[in-house]
Amino acid sequence: MYSKEQASQLRQAFWTTFGQYLSPQLSADGLKTNWVNYKTGIKHLHFKMQTDNRSAYIAIELSHPDPGIQELFFEQFKELKTVLTSTLDEEWEWNLHMPDEYGKTVSRIYKTLDNASVFNRNDWPALISFFKPRIIALDDFWSTAKYSFDALK
């Protein structure tokens, strides 16, 4: 078992390693990108990567405080589901209005990797191999799809 400080240091080391690994990768628009803290340009719409001692997930997370607006964004993603699935080359889970780890209502489109721990350095290659192609594919999707959300800004 790790202390809070040790756990925090391991998490930070993983995300630093991941960021360094992806730093040479340009975005679909040819720009240098902070992959760990990806900016969609729309408030309350995030591409989120999370890992803990048992699993990891990557998600499109809608966190607008108004559930109705959150649902509008979710519906817009549903309109683009074929394009998203084609770009990701896999099916993801779709959850409208679920509680996040803090009890706040969010909507998520996500993919999970089980049996991988950020606290086990031997799992880091699997975690990086899980996150890397998916965040790059999300960026590729977002490069064209973001214009569909202009009216919802």
pLDDT of residue 134: 98
Q: Which tokens is 95 given?
A: 């959850």
| 47 and 59 Cβ atoms separated by less than 8 Å | yes
Residue 151's pLDDT band, with cuts at 50, 70 and 90, is confident
pLDDT of residue 95: 97
Q: Which tokens is 71 given?
A: 């649902």
pLDDT digits (tens, 9 = 90+) for 90-138: 999 999 999 998 999 999 999 999 999 999 999 999 999 999 999 999 9
pLDDT digits (tens, 9 = 90+) for 29-70: 999 999 999 999 999 999 999 999 999 999 999 999 999 999
Q: How far is CA 43 from CA 15, 46, 81, 114, in A?
A: 23, 8, 21, 29
If 0-12 CB within 10 Å is exposed, 13-18 middle and 19+ buried, where does residue 36 land?
A: middle
Name the amino acid, one letter, at 13. Answer: A
The dihedral built from the CA positions of residue 45, 99, 57 and 20, taken in this order, carries a sign that is: positive
Quick check: 1 pLDDT over 90? no
Which pTM value belongs to this model?
Answer: 0.93
